[in-house]
Structure formats: C-alpha cells, structure tokens
C-alpha cells in the first residue's frame, strides 16, 4: 500500500462507556485494519479519585474502573494484533497523578501506581504518551485543552494555538476545521466520544456531545494526508456503504 491507515478515538471514560458504540468501533476496526491506532485520551474516567462530589457506591470501586479500562484495551488489541497503538494522556488520566501528589504523596513514588502499570500497557504492547500529545508525520495528536461552546470552535482554537494541523478529543464534540494561508493548507479534527450520552452524573441533561471516531490516511511517499470523522447514527457507524454493529 502507498499509505498508512490510522484510527483515532477517545473519551471513552470507562466505566461510563457506551457498549454499543464500542462494539461498533471494534467491528469497524476489524474491517478497516489500521496500521496505527491513537487512543485520544480519557480511556478511564477515574471517577473514584475525582475532586467532585461522588456517589458513595462508585467512589469505592476504583479497581472496577481499572478492570473495565483494561478489558477495553484487550478488545482493541485482540482485533488489531499487529497495529501500533498509543494511548495519549487525557485530563482524566491525569487525575491519578494529581490525587497521589495531593492526597497520598508518600505513595507517589511507587512504580506500580502509574497509568502504564495499572492498565498493563506494556503487556498489551501499547505506548503511553504521558505528555498528552505527540506529532505524527507533521500532524499533532493530542487530548486537547481548549473547550469552546460550539462544534468546531475548539478545533479552530487548537489550530490557532499551534499553527499546525492536528487532531484532538476532550470536547466530546465532532468537527473538522480547515484553514488555508500562504504557508499551506491545514486541518484540525475533533474526534467526538465513545462515552454514554446519558451517564448518571449528567443528572438527566442532554449534553451537546457527538459519538464517533476518526480515520486518517498518510501517504508513504509524500507529506500528504487525509482525515475524516465518522459519527455513530443510532449507535452504529456507517462508512462506505457498510454498517458496523
């Protein structure tokens, strides 16, 4: 092939992930056969150690959260046995370090109390991008730290901040922003989410979120690339005339 196929998805927020959306993603991935996978942050919610008021029942189930996240990673690896996979640190992933530094400093140096160790990333041959971003073939992949009110506004803000093409999550929204100037053509994508849209902590509100994921093609012979967002419709992904369940 003359191109590298890349799959990007994130904001799963286990254990608040959407099982139907995850199943559809795995079905798509099996068909798409990506060479590289970027998990765009917030695989795990770390609800139990957040600073917010918590349901006492869930607050004592940190291990269950971790087990759910590991199970998702195992499914992703099983469907993509030879793909390069990287997990990009998100703000929810960062909750572990902040908790240790503020509430349990004495434990923060234990080598097994890290995201890499708790999620068994080395065992699953998954690289952890602890800085929350990387540059792949001239394109930024990051969890993101800009959240604006409407779809696309955050993508525009991320581009204006970096001046480069890129892909981010964090907002749980979907958009593709294009910008052309004298130095070239640029694009920034927001990759939506795979979490539930009716999670209990939303207290019945309907969030302005979009479930979905992104794909990209990088030429192996030039600096050209193409990316697009694939939304879930009724809990299923549709792409090139195919339905993925």
Tell me if 136 is assigned to some domain.
yes
- The pLDDT tens digits for 179-188 are 999 999 999 9
Evaluate if residue 218 carries a pLDDT over 60: yes
CA distance 9 to 231: 11
> Which pLDDT score, from 0 to 100, does residue 18 have?
96
Compute the average pLDDT of residues 12-17. 95
The stretches of the chain forming alpha helices (DSSP H) are: 19-32, 56-59, 62-79, 95-103, 115-118, 153-162
Compute the average pLDDT of residues 129-143. 97
Other beta carbons less than 10 A from residue 114's beta carbon: 16
Tell me if 241 is assigned to some domain.
no
- The pLDDT tens digits for 85-107 are 999 999 999 999 999 999 999 99
Q: Poorest-confidence range of 11-15, 67-71, 203-207?
A: 203-207
> Which pLDDT score, from 0 to 100, does residue 202 have?
72
Tell me if 108 is assigned to some domain.
yes
Tell me if 243 is assigned to some domain.
no
Tell me if 49 is assigned to some domain.
yes
- The pLDDT tens digits for 47-79 are 888 776 556 666 568 999 999 999 999 999 999
- Report if pTM > 0.75: yes
Order of all β-strands in the sheet with 174-181: 133-136, 139-142, 166-168, 184-191, 174-181
Tell me the two tokens of residue 74: 């195992």
More confident residue, 55 or 40: 40
> Which pLDDT score, from 0 to 100, does residue 58 have?
60
Tell me if 27 is assigned to some domain.
yes
> Which pLDDT score, from 0 to 100, does residue 61 have?
84
Print the domain residue range for 109.
Answer: 3-236
CA distance 64 to 23: 20
Separation of CA 143 from chain center: 7
CATH number of the domain within which 104 lies: 3.60.21.10
How many CA atoms within 13 Å lie on the side-chain side of 206? 0
Domain count, the chain: 1
CA distance 196 to 199: 5
> Which pLDDT score, from 0 to 100, does residue 169 have?
98
> Which pLDDT score, from 0 to 100, does residue 115 have?
96
How many CA atoms within 13 Å lie on the side-chain side of 223? 7
> Which pLDDT score, from 0 to 100, does residue 235 have?
84
Tell me if 242 is assigned to some domain.
no
Tell me if 95 is assigned to some domain.
yes
Residue for token digits 């992703």? 76
Tell me the two tokens of residue 37: 């996978």
CA distance 151 to 200: 24
* Rounded alpha-carbon distances, angstroms, from residue 14 to 10, 21, 36, 54: 11, 13, 22, 16
Average pLDDT, rounded, for the chain: 93
CA distance 43 to 162: 24
Other beta carbons less than 10 A from residue 182's beta carbon: 4
């Amino acid at each position: 092939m003359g191109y590298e196929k890349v799959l990007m998805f994130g904001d799963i927020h286990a254990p608040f992930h959407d099982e139907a959306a995850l199943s559809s993603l795995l079905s798509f991935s099996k068909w798409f056969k990506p060479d590289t996978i970027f998990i765009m942050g917030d695989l795990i919610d770390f609800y139990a150690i957040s600073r917010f008021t918590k349901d006492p029942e869930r607050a004592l189930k940190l291990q269950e959260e971790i087990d759910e996240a590991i199970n998702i990673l195992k499914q992703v690896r099983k469907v993509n046995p030879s793909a390069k996979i990287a997990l990009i640190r998100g703000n929810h992933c960062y909750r572990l370090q902040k908790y240790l530094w503020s509430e349990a400093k004495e434990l923060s140096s234990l080598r097994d109390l890290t995201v890499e160790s708790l999620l068994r990333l080395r065992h699953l041959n998954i690289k952890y991008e602890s800085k929350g971003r990387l540059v792949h073939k001239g394109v930024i992949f990051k969890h993101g730290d800009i959240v604006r009110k409407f779809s696309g506004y955050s993508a525009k803000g991320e581009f204006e901040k970096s001046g480069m093409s890129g892909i981010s999550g964090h907002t749980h929204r979907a958009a593709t922003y294009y910008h052309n100037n004298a130095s070239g053509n640029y694009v920034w994508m927001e990759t939506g989410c795979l979490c539930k849209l009716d999670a209990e902590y939303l207290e019945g509100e309907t969030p302005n979120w979009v479930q979905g994921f992104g794909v990209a093609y990088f030429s192996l012979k030039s600096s050209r690339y193409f990316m697009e967002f694939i939304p879930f419709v009724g809990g299923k992904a549709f792409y090139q005339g195919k339905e993925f369940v």
